[in-house]
Amino acid sequence: MKEELDQIIKMLNSWERRVLKCVDAHYESERIFKRFNFLIGIPTIILAAIISAVSFYYIGKTVLLWVQMTVGFLGLFQFVLSALHTWLGYSELAIRHHKAGSDYAALRRRIEQLKNLPAYITEDSITEVRESIDKLSKEAPTIPGRVWKKTQIAFRGHGTADGDVLIPDQM
């Protein structure tokens, strides 16, 4: 019985390490996609405001060709930024990564609960955790390769099989 419980705790430790990596990677992905959203969204808004102001200012006036060309190119650039902002959907990706990170964090707490209250470890509770991991891995958005690699490096050497607490290095 003791050996079986030790094996289960070892398995839970392994799952916890994987889940914690996913928590960190999804929250890092959320941060990156929020930044991308602002890097495209804010210039789009500023350009739209400039183009509108210049257009209203020159209504009914004779406008130099270079001003017309500049406003035209700014309008084209603003259109491209606006289309990219919509098509890339960084805000939606950030939301999806936040949800995935939160779901993985909740699963980590469930694993911690089982590890700290071994009397509640049953075959059903182990199956529930495994199925939750499977479900989250299918539903979660893909973590960018650079983020996952960074997460793997940050966790290297932590959380060995003997049950050490898993604490990531500073990223």
pLDDT in tens, 68-79: 999 999 999 999
Contact in structure between 11 and 159 (CB atoms under 8 Å)? no
- At 2 the pLDDT is 84
Length of the chain: 171
Mean pLDDT, range 36-40, rounded to an integer? 96
- Residue 31: count other Cβ atoms within 10 Å of its Cβ: 14
pLDDT digits (tens, 9 = 90+) for 43-65: 999 999 999 999 899 888 898 99
Residue 157 confidence class, pLDDT cut points 50, 70, 90: low
- Please list, residue by residue across 108-142, b when 16 or more beta carbons sit within 10 angstroms of its beta carbon and e when fewer do: bebbeebbeeeeebeeebeeebeebbeebeeebbe
User: pLDDT digit string (tens) for 84-122?
Assistant: 999 999 999 999 999 999 999 999 999 999 999 999 999
